[in-house]
Amino acid sequence: MHICKAMMAAVSVAGALSASAARADGTVEVLHWWTSGGEAKAVGELKKAFEAEGGEWIDSPIAGGGGDAAMTALRARVVAGNPPTAVQLKGPGIQEWAEQGALNDVQSVADEGNWDAVLPPALAEIMKYQGKYVAAPVNIHRVDWMWANPEALKKAGVEEMPTTWDEFNAAADKLQAAGIVPLAHGGQPWQDATLFEDVVLGIGGADFFRKALVELDPEALTSDMMVKSFDQLRKLRGYVDPNFSGRDWNLATAMVMRGEAGFQIMGDWAKGEFLAAGKVPEQDFLCWPTPGKGFVLNSDSFTFFKVEGEDRIEGQKVLARLIMSPEFQKVFNLAKGSIPARTDVPLDDFDACAKRSHADLLAAIENDTLVPSMAHEMAVPRSVRGEFLDLVTAFFNSDMSSEDAVKQLAAAIKRAQEN
Amino acid sequence: MARFGRALERRLPAIVVSPLFAASLFFVYGFILWTAYISLTRSGVMPNYEFDGLSQYVRLWETPRWYVAIRNLFVFSGLFISISMAIGILLAILLDQKVRIEGVIRTIYLYPMALSFIVTGTVWKWMLNPGLGLERLMHQAGFENFSFDWLVNSHYAIYTVVIAAVWQSSGYAMALFLAGLRSVDDEVLKAAAIDGAGLWRTYTGIVLPMLRPVFLSTVIILAHLAIKSFDLVIALTGGGPGYATDMPATFMYSFAFQRSELGVAAASATMMLMTVIAIIVPYLYSELRKTSG
């Protein structure tokens, strides 16, 4: 049924677009690493929509290492002077390639589609190089989500979802007393960093988050606020079960699902696990933002590389237009579990968590509390992010003091920026 | 025509081997030089050929994670080589006592070598995981206080890598030593027995010194396994907890492919090469000089 609906939507995308585009042939080669379940289906939607326009789609999926293998292949292709048309590439990675002069801009398509008006400004900024769009976002994932098992909470006597970290600690203590693991967590560097940035948002607020984790202001990085954030992270370490080391995030989600654990702090891809197990939002599981009244943004995007030949440039433009069309954004995100990057797409078919995410996103844009995710490569270059991950995971897995952590962090960031 | 044929025949070996020779010259030594040069530039996402001196080495040696990797390399290779050799020698000597069904036992000990390090790592990960393996088994058997959490303890995790690697490779060391023992002339052993040397004295005083070349090849084989160890660490601990079990090879991979820091990665690769040269070359030199002189 679901597939059927998705297909109908894809056909309607094609119908809507073929009316507007008289001549829409062209070739695109798309390099991506969406090869598993919902992701593969989502990228299949884009392929269908593109082929319905009469273009030729060459699929280059390169799985492995969370995109590392694809990046290696991309490097080789660019060096050889034969880059793919579009690459699944995000955040400051876009800027790195733009500085190498490897990207094409799609500003003409963006002007036509009025992208500036429909994208959150913080996200639009990331998609641009020197004021011109070089990439198009397909979705928005929210990173600062807290997933909870209502039954486990009830058993432990936790009546309300926490809105501050102190309330969270109180709830976690109750869970612990009831013999339930308070926080399901997997000890992998990026998961540790996800906890860390959500804590920083909750302790310091959006402005502090931006100063410390995006602008890398040395004063903010060594401030008391940062020490306090590490103190809270240390607290969270105490709420994790002894076997967390190396656990995958979806296994941690399963712990919440089974009621072995009370909470998990993870982006909204965790929702896909709940839904796939047939759980209903707000009945079998709760989604609630982590403390901090902000919105930590993660977004996948396709970046347009410098291809030659009219056929390929035409294909690139058609692809850019398709990616940003409201119809595609809806179909894709229903399959992927995220919400559309365009803020003007109606969310009637989406679940309660996605609707909440959308409402909070609009509020965050309004209040200027929308921040890009550090842990998910939206805020800082990969070299700097790597230093954050090293330090946070070393802190989480040792008895380092918060003061030492702050000092080492500032030194590590400085070192990474030297290159 | 016949002369041409003869000339061809004479040169054929050289003609056949030369493409291979040229290819390995280019792909092995050429790229070693290229990596060494990249380590002297400011390469980030993409190689950049502008010379920049030793700045990447300075950055490398300021990175705490690199020290962890170096320390782990020495701890791991020291323990791995010495324990594997000790177990290998012991098993070889025991097997050499004309036991029954020796062939079966030998095969059993040698079998781990047939597995890839990925398989070994995954299996040991399950066995050593406190929630799944040994610790849980002991708890179920009634020993509630039994605790073995090395795998998830950042101070001890590197030793679990040693355990898995020794399990995999000591059978191989045994096979090498057993072959060496079999090549020792029976007459020597008989002479030693007539002179009244006990079993201990026969082995430590006579047989083992005769196995010097076997030691050489075993050390070299095990040492290169240790230095290039990557898959075992990735499968067993993933470099964790944190980066507590990082090795130079995993460090290099993560900087080159996950962080777009080609310069630092090249510098670390060059340091690895230097380490290997510094250890292996003097050893090879002294051993080979002895055997030829």
Mind listing the pLDDT tens digit for each residue in B141-187?
888 788 788 888 888 899 999 999 999 999 999 999 999 988 888 88
Residue pair A335/A41 in contact (Cβ under 8 Å)? The answer is yes
Handedness of CA B164, B168, B174, B177 (dihedral sign): negative
Best of A383, A389, A399 to disrupt the B interface (most B CBs within 10 Å) is A383
Residue pair A147/A275 in contact (Cβ under 8 Å)? The answer is no
- Residue B292 has a pLDDT of 57
Residue A397 backbone phi and psi in degrees, to 5: -105, 15
Test A382 with B237 for CB contact under 8 angstroms. no
Q: What is the spatial distance between Cα A336 and Cα A88, in angstroms, rounded to a whole number?
A: 15
Residues of B in contact with A72 (CB under 8 A): 257
Test A242 with B63 for CB contact under 8 angstroms. no
Test B45 with A415 for CB contact under 8 angstroms. no
For residue B242, give both structure tokens. 């944190």
Q: How far does the CA of residue A121 sit from the closest CA of chain B (Å)?
A: 27
Q: How far does the CA of residue A17 sit from the closest CA of chain B (Å)?
A: 37
Query: What ipTM goes with this model?
Result: 0.74
Test A189 with B59 for CB contact under 8 angstroms. no
Closest C-alpha to A320, from A83, A135, A141: A135
CB-based contact (8 Å) between A176 and chain B?
no
Instruction: Count CB-CB contacts under 10 A for residue B7.
Output: 10
Closest C-alpha to A197, from A186, A183, A213: A213
For residue A4, give both structure tokens. 């059927």
Give the residue on B whose Cα is nearest the Cα of A102.
B46
Give all domains of chain A, ordered by start, each with its CATH number: 2-139+299-349 (3.40.190.10), 145-297+359-417 (3.40.190.10)
Of B47, B64, B244, the CB nearest to A397: B244
The angle at the Cα of A330, spanning A326 to A335, to the nearest 5 degrees, equals 150
CA gyration radius, chain B:
24
Q: What is the spatial distance between Cα A340 and Cα A370, in angstroms, rounded to a whole number?
A: 16
Residue pair A264/A255 in contact (Cβ under 8 Å)? The answer is yes
Test A245 with B131 for CB contact under 8 angstroms. no
Residues of B in contact with A383 (CB under 8 A): 44, 259-261
Test B257 with A65 for CB contact under 8 angstroms. yes
Q: Are strands A141-142 and A295-298 parallel, antiparallel or unpaired?
A: antiparallel
Question: Hunting for tokens 């300075």 — which residue is that?
Answer: B58
Residue B177 backbone phi and psi in degrees, to 5: -70, -35
Q: What is the spatial distance between Cα A129 and Cα A306, in angstroms, rounded to a whole number?
A: 14
Residue pair A330/A9 in contact (Cβ under 8 Å)? The answer is yes
Of B65, B129, B261, the CB nearest to A419: B261
Of A242, A382, A408, the CB nearest to B259: A382
Residue A287 backbone phi and psi in degrees, to 5: -115, 135
Q: What is the spatial distance between Cα B3 and Cα B5, in angstroms, rounded to a whole number?
A: 5
- Residue A20 has a pLDDT of 40
Closest C-alpha to A271, from A284, A260, A259: A284
Of A408, A415, A419, the CB nearest to B42: A419
Q: What is the spatial distance between Cα A151 and Cα A286, in angstroms, rounded to a whole number?
A: 10
Per residue, the 3-state secondary structure of A272-327, as one string, reads HHHHHCCCCECCCEEEEECCCCCEEEECCEEEEECCCCHHHHHHHHHHHHHHCCHH
Along the 419 residues of chain A, how does pLDDT read in single tens digits? Answer: 444 444 444 444 444 444 344 344 688 999 998 877 677 888 888 888 888 888 889 988 887 666 778 888 888 888 888 899 999 988 888 998 898 888 999 999 999 999 999 999 989 999 999 999 999 999 999 999 999 999 999 999 988 899 999 999 999 999 999 999 999 999 888 999 999 999 999 999 999 999 999 999 999 999 999 999 999 999 999 999 988 888 888 899 999 999 999 999 999 888 888 888 888 888 899 999 999 889 999 999 999 999 888 888 888 999 999 999 998 899 888 888 889 999 998 888 898 899 999 999 999 999 999 999 999 989 998 889 989 999 999 999 888 999 999 999 999 998 888 76
Give the residue on A whose Cα is nearest the Cα of B263.
A419
Q: What is the spatial distance between Cα B217 and Cα A64, in angstroms, rounded to a whole number?
A: 36
CB-based contact (8 Å) between A232 and chain B?
no
Residue pair B263/B42 in contact (Cβ under 8 Å)? The answer is yes
Test A393 with B243 for CB contact under 8 angstroms. yes
Question: Hunting for tokens 């999926």 — which residue is that?
Answer: A61
Residue A304 backbone phi and psi in degrees, to 5: -100, 120
Mean pLDDT of B89-94: 91
- Which of residues 26 through 45 in chain B touch A, CB cutoff 8 A? 42, 44-45
pLDDT above 50 for B188: yes
Residues of B in contact with A96 (CB under 8 A): 44-45, 260
Question: Hunting for tokens 């008006």 — which residue is that?
Answer: A117
Give the residue on B whose Cα is nearest the Cα of A188.
B242
Residues of B in contact with A71 (CB under 8 A): 257, 260
Test A419 with B255 for CB contact under 8 angstroms. no
- Residue B243 has a pLDDT of 85
pTM to 2 decimals?
Answer: 0.82
Residue pair B269/B66 in contact (Cβ under 8 Å)? The answer is no
- Which of residues 173 through 232 in chain B touch A, CB cutoff 8 A? none
The angle at the Cα of B129, spanning A182 to A181, to the nearest 5 degrees, equals 10
CB-based contact (8 Å) between A245 and chain B?
yes
CB-based contact (8 Å) between A100 and chain B?
yes
pLDDT above 80 for B108: yes
Using CB atoms within 10 A of its CB, is residue A283 exposed (0-12), middle (13-18) or buried (19+)? exposed
CB-based contact (8 Å) between B260 and chain A?
yes
Q: What is the spatial distance between Cα A304 and Cα A321, in angstroms, rounded to a whole number?
A: 12
Instruction: Count CB-CB contacts under 10 A for residue B178.
Output: 23
Instruction: Count CB-CB contacts under 10 A for residue A59.
Output: 12
AA identity, residue A38 = G
Of A188, A397, A412, the CB nearest to B154: A397
A-to-B residue pairs, Cβ atoms closer than 8 angstroms: 96
Give the residue on B whose Cα is nearest the Cα of A67.
B258
Q: What is the spatial distance between Cα A203 and Cα B195, in angstroms, rounded to a whole number?
A: 81
Closest C-alpha to A134, from A98, A170, A161, A172: A98
Of B55, B62, B152, the CB nearest to A245: B152
Handedness of CA A336, A338, A342, A346 (dihedral sign): positive
Closest C-alpha to A256, from A173, A180, A179, A362: A180
Q: What is the spatial distance between Cα A344 and Cα A118, in angstroms, rounded to a whole number?
A: 6
**What fold does the segment set B69-292 form as a domain?**
MetI-like fold (1.10.3720)
Order of strands, sheet of A86-88, starting from the edge strand that comes earlier in the sequence: A56-61, A27-32, A86-88, A301-304, A135-137
Residues of A in contact with B125 (CB under 8 A): 246
Of A242, A393, A412, the CB nearest to B149: A242
Handedness of CA B51, B56, B58, B59 (dihedral sign): positive
Question: Hunting for tokens 């273009």 — which residue is that?
Answer: A55
Closest C-alpha to A338, from A367, A300, A309, A312: A300
- Which of residues 182 through 221 in chain A touch B, CB cutoff 8 A? 187-189
Test B47 with A242 for CB contact under 8 angstroms. no
Q: What is the spatial distance between Cα B283 and Cα B286, in angstroms, rounded to a whole number?
A: 5
Of B46, B152, B238, the CB nearest to A100: B46
Closest C-alpha to A332, from A158, A178, A174, A136: A136
Mind listing the pLDDT tens digit for each residue in B199-223?
888 888 888 888 888 988 898 889 8
Of B244, B257, B261, the CB nearest to A68: B257
Residues of B in contact with A408 (CB under 8 A): 64
Give the residue on A whose Cα is nearest the Cα of B130.
A243
Best of B260, B261, B262 to disrupt the A interface (most A CBs within 10 Å) is B260
Give the residue on B whose Cα is nearest the Cα of A417.
B59
Torsion angle in degrees (nearest 10) through CA of A125, A130, A133, A137:
-30
Test A408 with B64 for CB contact under 8 angstroms. yes
CB-based contact (8 Å) between A362 and chain B?
no
Closest C-alpha to A339, from A320, A319, A359: A359
Residue pair A90/A123 in contact (Cβ under 8 Å)? The answer is no
- Residue B52 has a pLDDT of 86
- Residue B251 has a pLDDT of 93
CB-based contact (8 Å) between A400 and chain B?
no
- Which of residues 101 through 160 in chain B touch A, CB cutoff 8 A? 125, 129-132, 149, 151-152, 154
